[in-house]
């Protein structure tokens, strides 16, 4: 049996402290605690401390408590003792701490065996301790943990605000949240369509693959994965109750803690302002598609993974026909006028180009790359013989879209359109 618990991790990630940390505080440590059951469960979170001596004490608890008792309410018969422990375990308390001396010289075997079977940490104190001191110490530690949570979330909110003020836009906010949580973060429309995805740890699967596997189907959206964090981004003005978009954090690389929800809620308020002012939903979706096409072109996405990820973004070429890559480069003089402004320049451009391309009559995946001033596309052909005719129509549609978006200033060169060879995903 353990007589000394090893040093615990620092509290704060769950807004409470662990059982192990509670045993290390001076109040309980002075009682010479001995863990007699559930030694592998000492990382459970202590939400609160309760002291009591009544047989029905389980009915007074909500779960997550560390229960202090001298044992007078436990009962004298083994059946009563087993029932007492089982009810506490069913209630979900974090640990049971019994002070020896007044009621028990040593804990009855029925108590210990039942606690082991239920996986409930059971601790006996060999010296008397003032329960009020233990309660004050643990509660102070819990409050400090909550304060630390808020501080961490506030730091993330500060970074997100600075990113927005610095012109980084919504994608950078999502990347900050993904880095903080170590998991992929998504922004979706109110009806569950993907707008933008940001990855977490580098070794985690591509976020688009994660989305398709965990969130991409209507049934998945109705029942989000266990442990996921979903936070509404409000829209339509204060007090309307409408939802403009939704932040989704999925637990892929590591579990999500309460601090991640707090950070997401803080970020959502900032995103609401940005989306209402700049109407960036269309632009975000176009930027997400542009990121995918760029990663595909530069070999960061394999040919095997590409079709499924493209489907997530709405590209469904159908059949086995070849694919045609196209990229339009805007004149440098025009790029500066299409920034992330309240006019939604890139969204206007993407919409105008998409409307012109609709007349071409082939499936199109259209993206934007504001930093490079480029508009990448991927088209689905029925046969290789279509390439020349489709390429001419696409080039004309792209230039018409640029003109409609008001991006061609007098004296500037027209945009350059480059059409690649027709082929497969490779």
pLDDT in tens, 231-250: 988 875 444 457 778 898 98
Domains and CATH numbers, the chain: 17-143 (3.40.1390.20), 167-278 (3.30.450), 301-419 (3.30.70.1130)
Give the chain's count of helices (H) and strands (E).
14, 15
Pure H helices in 225-280: 258-278
Secondary structure (3-state) at 95: strand
Q: Which of 80, 42, 67 is nearest to 125 (CA)?
A: 67
CB 197 within 8 A of CB 186: yes
d(Cα 13, Cα 407) in Å, to the nearest integer?
49
Secondary structure (3-state) at 110: helix
Instruction: Give, for all 426 residues of the chain, the pLDDT tens digit.
Output: 333 333 333 334 445 689 999 999 999 999 999 999 999 999 998 988 999 999 999 999 999 999 999 999 998 899 999 999 999 999 999 999 999 998 999 999 999 999 999 999 999 999 999 999 999 999 888 887 777 778 888 888 888 888 877 766 788 888 899 889 888 888 888 877 888 888 765 555 677 777 777 666 665 666 778 888 899 888 754 444 577 788 989 888 888 888 888 889 888 888 887 776 555 667 778 888 899 999 899 888 888 888 888 888 888 887 778 999 999 998 774 555 444 333 347 777 888 888 888 888 888 898 888 888 889 999 999 888 888 888 888 888 888 888 877 766 656 678 899 999 888 888
d(Cα 12, Cα 148) in Å, to the nearest integer?
6
Q: Are strands 416-419 and 17-18 parallel, antiparallel or unpaired?
A: unpaired
β-strand partners of 51: 68
Kindly report the pTM of this predicted structure. Answer: 0.51
Secondary structure (3-state) at 184: coil
């Amino acid at each position: 049996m353990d007589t000394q618990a090893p040093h615990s991790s620092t509290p704060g990630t769950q807004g409470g402290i662990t059982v192990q940390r509670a045993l290390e505080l001076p109040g309980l440590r002075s009682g010479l605690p001995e863990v007699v059951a559930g030694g592998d469960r000492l990382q459970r979170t202590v939400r609160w401390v309760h002291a009591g001596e009544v047989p029905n004490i389980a009915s007074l608890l909500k779960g997550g408590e560390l229960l202090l008792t001298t044992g007078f309410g436990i009962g004298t018969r083994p059946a009563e003792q087993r029932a007492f422990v089982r009810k506490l375990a069913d209630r979900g308390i974090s640990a049971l701490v019994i002070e020896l001396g007044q009621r028990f010289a040593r804990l009855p075997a029925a108590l210990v065996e039942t606690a082991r079977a239920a996986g409930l940490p059971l601790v006996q104190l060999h010296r008397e301790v003032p329960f009020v001191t233990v309660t004050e110490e643990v509660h102070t530690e819990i409050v400090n943990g909550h304060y630390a949570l808020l501080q961490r979330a506030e730091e993330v909110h500060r970074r997100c605000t600075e990113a927005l003020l610095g012109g980084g836009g919504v994608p950078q906010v999502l990347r900050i949240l993904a880095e903080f949580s170590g998991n992929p973060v998504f922004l979706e429309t109110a009806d569950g369509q993907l707008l933008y995805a940001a990855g977490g740890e580098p070794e985690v699967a591509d976020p688009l693959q994660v989305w398709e596997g965990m969130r991409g189907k209507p049934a998945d959206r109705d029942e989000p994965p266990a442990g996921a964090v979903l936070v509404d981004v409000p829209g339509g003005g204060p007090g309307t109750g409408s939802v403009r978009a939704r932040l989704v954090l999925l637990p892929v690389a590591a579990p999500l803690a309460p601090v991640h929800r707090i950070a997401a809620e803080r970020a959502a308020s900032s995103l609401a302002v940005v989306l209402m002012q700049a109407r960036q939903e269309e632009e975000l979706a176009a930027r997400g598609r542009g990121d995918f096409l760029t990663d595909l072109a530069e070999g960061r996405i394999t040919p095997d993974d590409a079709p499924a990820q493209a489907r997530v973004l709405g590209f469904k070429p159908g059949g086995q026909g070849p694919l045609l890559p196209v990229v339009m480069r805007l004149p440098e003089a025009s790029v500066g006028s299409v920034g992330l402004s309240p006019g939604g320049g890139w969204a206007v451009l993407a919409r105008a180009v998409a409307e012109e391309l609709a007349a071409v009559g082939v499936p199109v995946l259209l993206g934007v790359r504001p930093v490079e001033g480029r508009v990448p596309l991927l088209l689905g052909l029925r046969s290789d013989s279509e390439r020349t005719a489709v390429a001419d129509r696409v080039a004309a549609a792209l230039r018409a879209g640029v003109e409609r978006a008001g991006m061609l200033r007098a004296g500037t060169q027209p945009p350059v359109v480059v059409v690649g060879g027709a082929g497969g995903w490779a």
